[in-house]
Amino acid sequence: MTGVLEGPHGLDATAAPGRPVDLMSRLQQAVAAGPDRIAVRDRDDSLSFAQLDAATADLADTLTGSGVLPGDRVAVSLPRGADLVVALLAVWRAGAAYVPIDPAYPGERRHAMVRDAGARVLVTTAAAGEWPSGVRLLTVGRPGAAVDRRPAPPFPVAAHAPAYVIYTSGSTGTPKGVETTRGGVAALVAALEEAGMYAPEPRVVAWNASVSFDASVQQWARVCRGDTLVVLDEDERTDPARLTAALDAYGVQDLDLTPSHWPLLRDELLARAAEGRALRLFMGGEPVPEGTWRELAAERAAGRLEALNLYGPTECTVDTAATWIDGGTPHLGPALPGVQAHVLDVDLRPVADGVEGELYLAGAQVALGYVNRPALTATRFVADPFAADGTRMYRTGDKVRRRADGAMEYLGRIDRQIKIRGYRVELGEIEAALTRHPAVAAAAVTLHHSAVSGEQLVAYFVVSADPVDGPPTAEALRDQLATLLPQFMLPTVYTRLEALPLTVNGKVDLAALPAPEENPAADRENAPEGEVETLIAAVWSEVLGRERVRADDDFFAMGGHSLIALRVVARLKKQFGIAMSTREVYRHPQLRDLARHVETLRAAG
């Protein structure tokens, strides 16, 4: 794996036969084929392929001048927009690997990721806050010279060169960084092309997923194959009406989303499809519910809308299996070209079709491993006995059953890892963060499903003996966790127990934990008053499944999250004709404050 990745038509013409072309080489081909075509656009800006080439070359020169060497890791913490795409490509152009750092993450988590990755250079905004000492900050700048100058070509890299490090939740309480390869990313794009999931001609692609979520790679990297990339901003991502307007304004043909996102967008997208505006949905991150599967299959059968179900762990470069959502029941597609999928028993022996086993994945998309975690890497990335050539396969922890047609049925996890709203979460990381509170002696976290508010994380805690400041409140625990964990990992219900129930083996008996209950302290002292407060309380009661809502209640402390916030915004628009974004719910989480904000908007309208 030492040859340079280059050559036409998605395959390496100079190194090993059949090897996919590195994406930076493919981007150069796209620039040469259509320099004036739009490559990237956001709500405020657009770049042609020639301008993108010049901008990435300029920033790559700055990175190199700042001491970045091939194989280094460069942190990138930027808001969504064209500049983010420039930064990611510039890191690759310099032969380095990018480490995406979501600006919305708590400061301690952002700093820990930068330190763990060993990043000495960080691409960020001029208004960025403090970062660990010794890290050099760079900003994205557009080249002042005309794009007719010939930018230096990308630094040539080998297939095993690192491409990016994406951090996922860690069961021990610390996020773990998965380091993938440039050859793995090239193989991903080539496999999706060969399988027919990417159309052969250039498309207009909307980038919806967070850059810290590995699903983002199979969207934003498509600009390297000549597709036009539309970077959705936060408002467009979280408001169905604005999203639909963006799809129409930019002529978007492909959109990624999670199954949890579909119910909130379905009315807008189905209406759009009924009017003949075709769209291809790339759905992944979590299992597709049967009702959603049937609905999307019917849309495809009617020729109105088509959807794909994508599956793959971060450790195997995003997607390893794909299928059209087209009739039947929910399932995972067969492995993508170049991916070997083995369903094995505990002794690593293949099981027969129809028999449950653990899924192991092999091929060029298998990642290098976990940053600074050799023991964990050795545990999860094991020698491939079927290849017998020194390569490895990844133990997914997913239980599956292979069907006679090669597709697979997902049967759950063998550990406590869960998926919530598309994000992979180790419950142990949340538990470890809870026990960092000085008044918490022990904690357990579970995933609870509510028919009204959907899936919620529920925390149970035991108070330490004689806490200095007394037992912690749910609000205090949530505030503490918010300084350590991203919003999607925050429990919505906190239940105090005298002791955690244990099995005969001394482990926490998760099945014996009590069902989460509504806070009995929700009395009528702070009852909602007036038309707006009363309506918002009724909406919260409906979408959160709470019988009582007070004027001083906090939306997120009661179990709200981004998808439920969308439902609140939709109801307020329907009732008052007020266009709001979910950001405004985040800025005014207390019911009474949100009501005052709504009153201000009504008066201004």
The pLDDT tens digits for 385-395 are 999 898 999 99
As a whole number of angstroms, the distance between CA 416 and CA 461 comes to: 18
- pLDDT grade for 505, boundaries at 50, 70 and 90: low
Question: In the beta sheet, which residues pair with residue 280?
Answer: 254, 306
Please report the DSSP string for 44-86 in residue order: S-EEEHHHHHHHHHHHHHHHHHTT--TT-EEEEE--SSHHHHH
Rounded average pLDDT over 581-605:
86
Cβ partners under 8 Å of residue 94, min gap 6: 60, 63, 64, 68, 70, 74, 155
Encoding tokens for residue 36?
Answer: 């004036």
- pLDDT grade for 501, boundaries at 50, 70 and 90: confident
More confident residue, 132 or 282: 282
- Residue 19 DSSP code: P
- Residue 155 DSSP code: P
Q: Cβ of 245: how many Cβ atoms within 10 Å?
A: 13
pLDDT for 129: 62
CB 307 within 8 A of CB 323: no
pLDDT for 10: 47
Encoding tokens for residue 318?
Answer: 């995003």
Q: Cβ of 603: how many Cβ atoms within 10 Å?
A: 7
Termini Cα distance of the chain: 63
User: Residue 11's closest CA among 26, 27, 30?
Assistant: 26
pLDDT for 416: 83
Encoding tokens for residue 126?
Answer: 């001029």
As a whole number of angstroms, the distance between CA 463 and CA 497 comes to: 8
String of b and e for 420-458 (b: at least 16 CB within 10 Å)? bbbbbbbbbbbbbbbbebebbebbbbbebeeeebbbbbb
Q: Angle 554-427-293 (CA atoms, 0-180°, nearest 5)? A: 85
Percent of the chain with pLDDT over 90: 55
Encoding tokens for residue 431?
Answer: 């538990």
pLDDT for 542: 80
Torsion of CA 318, 324, 329, 330, to 10 degrees: 10
The mean pLDDT of the chain is 88
Burial label, 265 (beta-carbon count in 10 A; 0-12, 13-18, 19+):
middle
CA 134, distance to chain mean position in Å, is 29
Encoding tokens for residue 232?
Answer: 């959705």
E-only strand ranges, 152-301? 162-168, 176-181, 204-207, 228-231, 254-257, 280-283
Encoding tokens for residue 472?
Answer: 């912690």
More confident residue, 371 or 458: 371
- pLDDT grade for 126, boundaries at 50, 70 and 90: low
Q: Angle 551-556-562 (CA atoms, 0-180°, nearest 5)? A: 125
SS3 call for 592? helix
pLDDT for 518: 52
Q: What is the amino acid identity at position 1?
A: M
CB 90 within 8 A of CB 63: yes
Q: What is the amino acid identity at position 322?
A: A
As a whole number of angstroms, the distance between CA 425 and CA 414 comes to: 14
Cα atoms in the 13 Å half-sphere on the side-chain side of 369: 15
As a whole number of angstroms, the distance between CA 126 and CA 139 comes to: 6
Characterise 303 by phi-psi region: left (phi > 0), alpha (psi -120 to 50), beta (else).
left
As a whole number of angstroms, the distance between CA 172 and CA 426 comes to: 8
In terms of DSSP bridges, do strands 73-77 and 121-124 run parallel, antiparallel, or are they unpaired?
Answer: parallel
pLDDT digits 0-9 by tens, 209-222: 999 999 999 999 99
Is the pLDDT reported for residue 316 higher than 50?
yes
As a whole number of angstroms, the distance between CA 496 and CA 42 comes to: 46
As a whole number of angstroms, the distance between CA 172 and CA 560 comes to: 27
pLDDT for 381: 97
Is the pLDDT reported for residue 288 higher than 60?
yes
pLDDT for 555: 83
Q: Which own/partner pairs from 515-522 qualify as long-range (CB within 8 Å, at least 24 positions apart)? A: 515/448, 516/448, 516/456, 516/458, 517/493, 518/546, 518/547, 518/548, 519/474, 522/546, 522/547, 522/548, 522/549, 522/550, 522/553
Cβ partners under 8 Å of residue 470, min gap 6: 439
pLDDT for 465: 77
Q: Which single residue is written with the structure tokens 């395959």?
A: 11
Cβ partners under 8 Å of residue 218, min gap 6: 188, 189, 192, 256, 282, 310, 318, 319
As a whole number of angstroms, the distance between CA 420 and CA 401 comes to: 23
pLDDT for 8: 33
Percent of the chain with pLDDT over 70: 92
Encoding tokens for residue 504?
Answer: 């005969």
As a whole number of angstroms, the distance between CA 482 and CA 478 comes to: 6
pLDDT for 15: 40
